[in-house]
Every structure is written in structure tokens, then in C-alpha cells.
Amino acid sequence: LAKTTQPISMDSYEGQEVNITCSHNNIATNDYITWYQQFPSQGPRFIIQGYKTKVTNEVASLFIPADRKSSTLSLPRVSLSDTAVYYCLVGDAGPSNDYKLSFGAGTTVTVRA
Amino acid sequence: DAGITQSPRHKVTETGTPVTLRCHQTENHRYMYWYRQDPGHGLRLIHYSYGVKDTDKGEVSDGYSVSRSKTEDFLLTLESATSSQTSVYFCAISEFAGGPTGELFFGEGSRLTVL
């Protein structure tokens, strides 16, 4: 499994842009990069996924450089409700078509008024 | 929301007793997972299943066993619960293995306290 490294915590204020960078130096050719968001007392939920370059949806943008050894999740104009833990995952199906991912500790983003 | 039900949602038990957590899905997804979440550790994979009767270990499988006798149910068993297994347990499902269609859908969690 490709190992990921991301900051433990980040603080921001309402209306600001939050960028969380994840390092994944040993990413494999077939691996995709996926981000999940988790609110207190809930299970994680999918935010965005990409393979290379840039992906944007209604929630966030994901920037992936050409070497794919890192990725940056960008949350535009955050609000208090964006306070959550954000997880970066890298992986794809294994040789036996199994598929297992571990989430790590994630990045706790705290948005203040 | 994906149809995932975990039971029980809360349980308090004593050290040495057996405990079974159940994950039930109505999505007919092939892949099912059990994670545990502890402060400072994020979510760690315990066991997963890639089909009926097909299961494998995750990174923290010691002290846990699983069974999947039908597509919709994935059971996690603690044969003899210990205090170190006090945690919040999440079940997840996915239709495909990874890639652009491998999105994980999570249940609401089961909080287990072992006294």
C-alpha cells in the first residue's frame, strides 16, 4: 500500500481557502488519489478523486502534479461547517483483485468565525 | 445515502466476553470492510471481504475474526474482548475495487466499550 503523509491539523477562518497537501512518494502507476471528509460522530464520506492534473467538483478541487508524488486538496471559501477531518488515500485493486485502504490519522481542519 | 446498517450502535461489555458486530447492506456491493477508529490513529483497517466467503486481513486484525456467508452481511467477532478493543467500529462497502468507481460508503459506526 502506498503510504501517505499529511499535516495533523490546520486552522482557518471563514471565507478563506484551505489547501491540504498530501505526500505519496511511492504511488504506483495504477493508483488513484482519493480524499474523504469526516464530521464528528459520522463515518467518512467521499469528496473527490483524481489520477493526474486537476479535478474540480462542487465541493473541492484536487491538484496533482505530473510526478504524482503529492496532491493538494483545495477547499474554497470555507465555512464553519467545513470543520472536519480530511483523509488522503492512495490505492487501487491489488493483484488478487482485493482492495484495501487504510486512512491514517488525517488532517483536522478547524474553521473559526 | 447508501443502505448500510450497523448493529448494535452502542455496546458495553466486560473483558473476556465475546462480541459480534453486524454490518448489513442493501446495495449488493461486492466489497465490505471493517475499520476501527481511535484518537490519534484515524481509521485502521481490521478485515475486509471481496466476495461471499472471501475475506482477508487488514493492518490490525489480531483479536478479530470475520465472516461473510451472504452478500449483504459482514460480521466482525471479538472472541474474547479486551479493553484495548474499546473503539468506534465502522463498516464500509464499495461496488468496485479502486479506481474511479471504488468509492467507499460508510455506516454510522458502532461504539464498543470493554470494561
Question: Among residues of chain A, what percentage have pLDDT more than 90?
Answer: 68
Task: Decide if A35 contacts A49 (C-beta within 8 A).
Answer: yes
- Chain B residues in contact with A104 by the CB 8 A cut-off are 42-43
| A15-63 residue pLDDT tens | 999 999 999 998 888 888 899 999 988 999 999 999 998 999 999 999 9
- Between chains, do A92 and B44 touch, taking CB under 8 Å as contact? no
Mean residue pLDDT across chain A: 89
- Chain A residues in contact with B53 by the CB 8 A cut-off are none
| Residue from the list B42, B99, B104 with its beta carbon closest to the beta carbon of A92 | B99
C-alpha A34/C-alpha B11 separation (Å) is: 32
Residue range A73-98: average pLDDT?
82
Chain A, window 52-81: residues with a beta carbon less than 8 angstroms from a chain B beta carbon: none
Query: How far is CA A29 from each of CA A15, A17, A67, B33, B105, rounded to the nearest angstrom?
Result: 36, 30, 10, 24, 25
What is residue B64's DSSP assignment?
-
| Residue from the list A44, A96, A102 with its beta carbon closest to the beta carbon of B59 | A102
- Chain A residues in contact with B43 by the CB 8 A cut-off are 44, 87, 102-104
- Between chains, do B104 and A101 touch, taking CB under 8 Å as contact? yes
- Between chains, do A104 and B42 touch, taking CB under 8 Å as contact? yes
